[in-house]
A and B are shown apart, each in its own frame.
Chain A
């Protein structure tokens, strides 16, 4: 699918939990060509200290109403402004950007592991996996029960295993402490979340020899592969996480050995 710049119309903005929002936009162009794992670069207006666009994962696509959902975590003035966007406003996006997760083969057991804002791409990925006839399972980690995001949406697609750091819901600990993750057979694990979490997931998958793809959230300027700022060290040298990623197989990343 060709990349485009477009003013999309905001049709909804809902707060999930403190600091997390889902913005829903509708397009005059067909959105069904967007692949799971791809992202958009959102232009932030009326935020004087925000110069660059903000990369946001595609959280979900509704092909029926031709809308796209974007999960936003407030991390500074730019995302704070985005969190206040209201229906009827225009949101200028460059999309779709980046590569995508590789979908599983029929009959494979797959686990989608995420935490915090890293859950963003996993809903659409789960939907696509489900549509391909494979049952997705989710392992989701949060700080505590009040931080749990989109549980119903994930549950609608497959079994959800929860972990909270304080044990207020699900297993106490991190995603990698979830017994189903540690003990059951998995052919593929897809992961997105804070870097320490992804490194722990990668380490567990390497140990158990499980195919694992992670989606990186490197600091980025352009999103188009022209500024070379968002690089990640790989076995093929420094690669742009915006165009060669954001999805990488853990065997291609250098950090997974040291992490």
Chain B
């Protein structure tokens, strides 16, 4: 048995595998396939103050080794969440984290304050990187001054574990990681999706209703991995790596490049058991290598 526990700020996780926001619903959708308590945590669907319908269909296009999505933060809003979803989440025996979104800094602050009062939610993931909304989202995550402002404002009202989810659609992602650290975030998660698009040559129309969308899946893994490696060297707070992780080997690459934890996203669409299988695969690897803790390999490529 290897020790898989990891820590983000003061928060201890059973293991370093977390299901990514927008790819695991509210957890219940996957309960026929996996025992959620075997995961480090789950990050539930991107949540906003108000109810949102998201973007029009079509919102998805399969690509080479990946997919584009333009969902646009469809969710029922915090009131519905608190009343109808939270009571069920509070019973899960895994960390349940909420992905927080807004149009304005005030939105992010109000929502973070609301979630701060929910005792069964030990952390939020501040989403300043959604590429599929006209206001907020990636606009905050691609401008250093705006990023600093929103993280600063949320940090003042949110006293539990604050994770900032970074956009890869920038020239230097380490700048945003440093800002997150300076403004008091406990961790950064990266990367959100890459802005991309696809055209249907038969209809001569874009494949997505929004024209552009976010690319995820194995297609982005090498680039995501490079960014995680860069960020892990640039900041001292934990880095949560994600982007195209399909199996334990992919997850181990991120951990060896410096990620304290990983998120599994698009993989769950094809294999709803991907998250728990990755937990098992990481443990098996450590046992085979006769290592007693996952921390033995965190950032190991940087130690030589």
Contact = CB atoms under 8 A, between A and B. Distances in A.
Nearest to B213: A229
Interface stretch (A48-56, A60-68, A80-88, A133-141): A48-56
Contacts of A229: 58-60, 69, 71
Contacts of B30: 224, 226
Contacts of B273: 5
A1 B62 CA distance: 29
A-side interface mostly: loop
B57 A221 contact: no
B58 A3 contact: no
A205 interface: no
A231 B54 CA distance: 10
Bin chain A's interface residue count: 20 to 34
Interface in B28-49: 29-30, 32-33
B53 A222 contact: no
A227 B23 contact: yes
A5 B272 CA distance: 9
Contacts of B66: 51
Contact of B74 (A49, A232, A238): A238
B296 interface: no
A228 B272 contact: no
A218 B57 contact: yes
Contact of A225 (B25, B59, B61, B270): B25
9 contacts: A51-B62, A51-B218, A52-B67, A53-B270, A224-B30, A226-B268, A228-B59, A237-B53, A238-B54
Interface of A: 2-5, 43, 49-53, 94, 218-222, 224-233, 237-238, 243
Given A5-B272, A220-B60, 12 more contacts: A5-B271, A5-B273, A43-B270, A51-B270, A52-B67, A222-B268, A226-B268, A229-B59, A229-B60, A229-B71, A237-B53, A238-B74
